[in-house]
Amino acid sequence: MLKRATLKETQELAHEVSLQVNDGNIILLNGEMGSGKTQFVRFLCSSLKVKDRVSSPSFIIMNKYETSEGLEIFHFDFYRLTDIRDLEEIGLFEILESKKGLVIVEWGNMFKSLFVKEKNIIDIYFNFIEDNINLREISIQR
Ligand SMILES: Nc1ncnc2c1ncn2[C@@H]1O[C@H](COP(=O)(O)OP(=O)(O)O)[C@@H](O)[C@H]1O
Ligand SMILES: [Mg+2]
């Protein structure tokens, strides 16, 4: 699916994705700084009825939220990650092995090899559109 989306349409796309995810799913978000990755996670979490505040975990690498129905969400941002061994401490491998919770990764393609063995991956790409700061080209591949 490839679509030009206003902010409202980005919200609608996030809502559609929210209906298709559960424990064991992984969402990899890619696109330049400011292209809408964190915004998408906010919309997605809002559709999933997360009450926690959703913010980019850029310095701490991972934030954890929970939906009102008890689905755990692990929100990663790999932008400042230089050594994937740090993910051991943060617990990514344990999370992947458990198949519990929804894993969302901003800049997921920076260390795409971490996910080669995983199924249930949704890849989402965000691109700016020239001359319109309120539109994004969004591609969702699963
Ligand atoms: N159509 C759109 N879709 C998503 N975000 C948009 C759109 N139009 C404007 N924006 C704005 O772009 C910004 C994207 O920032 P953010 O989500 O933090 O980017 P990233 O996490 O990719 O660095 C937000 O302020 C958001 O409101
Ligand atoms: Mg971000």
The pTM for the full model equals: 0.97
Q: How far does CA 14 lie from the centroid of its chain?
A: 10
- pLDDT tens-digit series, residues 27-77: 999 999 999 999 999 999 999 999 999 999 988 899 999 999 999 999 999
Q: Which atom of ligand 1 is nearest to the CA of 36?
A: 17
| Domain boundaries of the chain, sorted by first residue | 2-141
10 Å CB burial of residue 40 (0-12, 13-18, 19+) is: buried
Mutation test of ligand 1: which of 9, 39, 54 has the most ligand atoms closer than 8 Å to its C-beta? Answer: 39
39 ligand 1 Cβ < 6 A: yes
10 Å CB burial of residue 88 (0-12, 13-18, 19+) is: exposed
Q: Which CATH architecture has domain 2-141?
A: 3-Layer(aba) Sandwich (3.40)
What mean pLDDT, rounded, does the chain reach? 96
The beta strands (E) that lie in the chain are given as 2-5, 26-30, 62-66, 72-77, 102-106, 121-129, 132-141
